[in-house]
Amino acid sequence: MQAPAFKGAAHLYRLRGSPALPSDMPAIQQFAARGSHLVLYALVIAMPLIGWAMLSAGGYPITLLDAWHSPAILPQNVDLFALLRALHTWLAFPLFATILADIAAGLFHGLIRRDGVFSSMARGHSLKEGLHDFQLSEFNGKSP
């Protein structure tokens, strides 16, 4: 529960301003990038909440930091537990697929387009800083 909460907070921080996409990037790729990030953010926030609700409905305690128990957010109900367990399972597949697509897109930008998007993804820099790093590495004769 702690790791997803921190991951969710990191993604919420990222929502306040993602780096600009390259202007020469096709519109369909820009749409896919924005759409996949929205799906990723929604799933990263929804999955821990659904998991918490599922465990609450199942009557399972959620222990954090060995001493603190999170409160149940739903009453104990076997049917609701089964529904939430199926939902949690089925939403894991698009979450995994979206993560794989994000990694693939990052590698595409880093290895094929070499447009600075990968460095902004990997290091959290803006695209402008990523392009600057790329230009410096080209000047030095090194690959980024």
pLDDT tens digits along 68-119: 888 999 999 999 999 999 999 999 999 999 999 988 988 888 888 777 777 7
For the cut 90, the answer to whether the pLDDT of residue 136 exceeds it is no
- The mean predicted confidence, pLDDT, of the chain is 79
Between 50 and 106, the higher pLDDT residue: 50
Q: Which residues pair with 67 in a beta bridge?
A: none
C-beta separation of 130 from 120 below 8 A: yes
| Residue 56 CB neighbours (<10 A) | 22
Predicted TM-score of the model (pTM): 0.68
Strands (E), the chain: 62-64, 68-70
More confident call, 144 vs 52: 52
Cα-Cα-Cα-Cα dihedral sign, residues 13, 14, 17, 19 = positive
Predicted pLDDT at 95: 96
CB 47 within 8 A of CB 91: yes
Q: Is the pLDDT of residue 55 over 90?
A: yes
Domain locations in the chain as residue ranges? 2-12+25-113, 115-144
C-alpha to C-alpha distance for 63 and 60, rounded to whole angstroms: 10
CA angle in degrees (0–180, nearest 5) for 91-97-98: 90
Phi-psi domain of 130 (left: phi exceeds 0; alpha: psi -120 through 50; beta: other): alpha
Give pLDDT, residue 110: 81
Distance between CA atoms of residues 10 and 121, nearest Å: 13
